[in-house]
Structure 1
């Protein structure tokens, strides 16, 4: 960011960075004021050089960080992404062979490319990659909490599936299949002894996915899963309004569950309790009317901006005419959609 304009070459040395960020994302951002990726820009690297021999230097935490994002992809897309986890983490945990890690890198890159080619700035379709990040980011940024990014994302997935199940979007059986992906990875997290519910909730309420939907008092936007390989899609942003009291409930359940897992040694040793399936909250109706009005306003603003640019180009062309600068007149006219032929 300090040297904007220079060529950027990414040389990731971690498994997570290799398949999830350096070689596939245009986002170059940093955390600020307690929030994730809030200051930055979009800039395409000139080249990304991935040397998988670096993986041999990584330990459990670093490998789980990378496997965490792949676990998220398995929930998002199913198919080969789910099959990858079925034959790796769901069989042997985090201890993949070098060849398996290389294959996983290619599959991870393919997942990012699949959506980023259509949405390079991650403004609609590619928002799906934020699944699990809402609570995951909040935990990462909470004082006294320690976990890797990928593990935090999978822990956040448990909160998302809890919410989805409670809202009647995800069935008990589908939730069990979804959560089995996370349990297989067995993500670790260090939690402080005091209650962190309010701090985590505050981070969630200031998540970077706010602003896509009209604000609605008492609700928070979440990306939710319906079942492995099928995301809940209430609108083009894949964002659902979730009641804040349900978010709080999910955080309380999640933190309590992870404390129990730490006490017994692993998530695998726990039998995750499902909420009473006889009671589901009514799904918050996505505000389609408000969303349509917002999109109409955005379109009107865009038209106004285009009109202003057209007026500016016209003024520039007239100035060039007065100055006798024919080449610039032709250039300006072309930008306005007109054909111009130089005359003597």
Structure 2
């Protein structure tokens, strides 16, 4: 097993490690390991040769769909695990993106009242964001991400080689979350990201991409070690997400998550400017950091009344006001409750009127 860096994460459940490697196959199918693999179907197809040792072990191939990332889907998976010989004391291993991560994490939390699990993240979103933080979220009927747990993997094996087979939209989606954590951390982190963004986007195997992933996880590590269970400080990780989730929903998830968050960050910054929390110069400086990741998808014809309804229904709201993570500048994020009065609605409408997709 070859690693070029290790990141240690402290957790109230159990501490865990991220192993950065140039060859994930060195960790696979350890001779004495009692393991059961959950593998994303697309990853299984693309990496059939490298994953041959996995396919000689007990394994499930999982289609990464929202239907499978559900209570019903996880129940089916656990039936298959038990029927396939999964025993107490064995380790679950997830190879895939966020959906397979959620399924594996949730199953590992509850089957036999908790088992060890390992994660090989294969998308940029998973590598730079979701692989740490302990959370699982699964759907229940029509309710998205309603059920879940805080149960981190015992270790994570991270290899950027997986990124070479991602579509450009998936790369931009992951870069959106990378931009987010650097803006919420500090002005220095924002500039660090800006200096590496172009090179990382151009070559996912570049030093710039590896540096941004390490930096993004290091920033998130500091946040989650303060507030692992998302009760207060960790709320800043939702920067851009209130608007972003609404846009995802109204585009029927046609806009990838991280690019919807890219739009959401700029909307949150514009609202912060409107409310007097930042000046125009600060807004423009943050816009310059965000805009290179702008989506190419048009938002013409977006029903703003449906957008306002979606904002009001966001699960983070506790009263009639909408909870946004707003900013007083890079590294200065706070949760603010904002009434969607006519003035605020007008400002949001003006932003969409001025929006132009990337060419």
Greater shift after overlay, 28-37 or 63-72? 28-37
> Could you tell me which residue of structure 1 aligns to residue 27 of structure 2?
none
Tell me the C-alpha RMSD between the 2 structures. 2.3
Matching of residue 199 in structure 1 with residue 306 in structure 2: yes
**Matched residue count:** 248
| TM-aligned CA distance change 1:59 to 1:164, over 3 Å | same
The separation in 2 between residues aligned to 1:26 and 1:42, in whole angstroms, is 5
Matching of residue 39 in structure 1 with residue 147 in structure 2: yes
| TM-aligned CA distance change 1:127 to 1:170, over 3 Å | same
Q: Which has the higher contact order (CA 8 A, sep 6+)?
A: 1
The offset of 1:84, in angstroms, is 2.7
> Could you tell me which residue of structure 2 aligns to residue 9 of structure 1?
118
1:94 partner SS: helix
Q: Which runs of 5+ in 1 are unaligned?
A: 232-237, 267-344
Q: What is the correspondence of 1:194-273 to structure 2 with a 5 Å cutoff?
A: 194-211=301-318, 215=319, 217=320, 219-231=321-333, 238-245=334-341, 246-258=343-355, 261-262=356-357, 265-266=358-359
Structure showing the higher strand proportion among its residues = 2
> Could you tell me which residue of structure 2 aligns to residue 155 of structure 1?
263
Matching of residue 30 in structure 1 with residue 132 in structure 2: no
The separation in 2 between residues aligned to 1:169 and 1:186, in whole angstroms, is 24
Instruction: Find the structure with the greater CA-based Rg.
Output: 1
TM-score under structure 1 normalisation?
Answer: 0.66
The question of whether the paired residues in 2 share the 8 Å contact of 1:135 and 1:156 is answered with: yes
The offset of 1:250, in angstroms, is 4.2
> Could you tell me which residue of structure 2 aligns to residue 69 of structure 1?
177
The separation in 1 between residues aligned to 2:119 and 2:338, in whole angstroms, is 37
| TM-aligned CA distance change 1:82 to 1:194, over 3 Å | closer
The separation in 2 between residues aligned to 1:168 and 1:80, in whole angstroms, is 23
The question of whether the paired residues in 2 share the 8 Å contact of 1:64 and 1:185 is answered with: yes
2:148 partner SS: strand
The separation in 1 between residues aligned to 2:325 and 2:244, in whole angstroms, is 12
Q: Which runs of 5+ in 2 are unaligned?
A: 1-73, 76-106
> Could you tell me which residue of structure 2 aligns to residue 108 of structure 1?
216
The separation in 1 between residues aligned to 2:147 and 2:129, in whole angstroms, is 19
The offset of 1:257, in angstroms, is 3.3
The separation in 1 between residues aligned to 2:265 and 2:142, in whole angstroms, is 21
The separation in 1 between residues aligned to 2:211 and 2:306, in whole angstroms, is 39
Query: Which residue of the other structure, out of 259, 279, 282, is the alignment partner of 1:174?
Result: 282
The separation in 2 between residues aligned to 1:170 and 1:76, in whole angstroms, is 14
1:19 partner SS: helix
TM-score under structure 2 normalisation?
Answer: 0.63
The question of whether the paired residues in 2 share the 8 Å contact of 1:145 and 1:189 is answered with: no
